[in-house]
Copies of this chain bind each other. A is one copy, B any other.
Amino acid sequence: MKLGEGVEAAIHCAAMLAGVDGAATLPGAAMAEAFGLSPSYLLKHLNALTASGILESVPGPSGGYRLARPAERITLLDIVLAVEGREPAFRCAEIRQRGPAKLNASVYAKPCGINVAMLKAERAYRAALADAWLSDIVAEYTADADSRSVAANCAFVERHRRPQKSSSTKQA
């Protein structure tokens, strides 16, 4: 089982954007620089977050990205599904219905128990991700991480933030 590398990038960007106040934005290129990623690679994932309503993008040369809602209302599950898609990790191909012993379709009306068990585990995974709030991750980082890291990240955001005229939609 493997999650795409974009998940790490997407969560880090969302966490960084949680530190941008009001309607201001950060350019995608700045976030790519912060995490040593290619801007075009990151753009794909920022677009996925925008399409899922987690980020808003402000177009134009002085535009950028901001959270579309407060970090208190964004979970890691929201981000993982935005980047990876909503399909379950285990994709039952109904191989029980293949082969020469295949019977009438009515025989397979009940779902395969293997699929049922795999989906139960996936629900446990998603429940844990749905309980991991972006706001908590940011708060724990600010409280617990090395103060030099926190200071450097705040300075980076301050240096790259772009004030916007439009009012923020990040009202709780």
Asked whether A124 is an interface residue with its Cβ less than 8 Å from the other chain, the reply is yes
Q: Pick from B95, B98, B118, B132: contact of A121, CB below 8 A.
A: B132
Within the assembled complex, what's the spacing in Å between the Cα atoms of A152 and B31?
58
| CB of A122 closer than 8 Å to a CB of B | yes
Q: How many whole Å from A74's CB to the nearest CB in chain B?
A: 13
Question: How many copies of this chain are found per oligomer?
Answer: 2
User: CA A95 – CA B7 in complex, angstroms?
Assistant: 11
Q: Are B148 and A103 in contact (CB under 8 A)?
A: yes
Min CB–CB distance A80 → chain B (angstroms) = 7
Which residues of the other chain, B, contact A99 by a CB distance below 8 angstroms? 33-36
- Complexed CA–CA distance, A65 and B78 (Å): 43
Collect the chain B residues with CB atoms within 8 Å of residue A148's CB: 103-104, 107
Q: A100-B33, A117-B76, A120-B132 are in contact. Are A110 and B3 (CB under 8 A)?
A: no
A166 on interface, CB distance cutoff 8 Å: no
From A92, A129, A148, name the one whose CB has the most chain B CB atoms within 10 angstroms.
Answer: A129
Q: Closest Cβ of chain B: how far from A91's Cβ, in Å?
A: 7
Residues of B within 8 A of A101 (CB): 34, 152-153, 155-156
Min CB–CB distance A55 → chain B (angstroms): 17
Contact with B along A23-55 (1 / 0, CB 8 A): 000000000011111000000000000000000
12 inter-chain pairs at a CB distance below 8 angstroms, sorted by A residue, are A2-B2, A2-B89, A12-B96, A34-B99, A76-B114, A101-B156, A110-B144, A113-B137, A113-B140, A113-B144, A117-B129, A125-B125
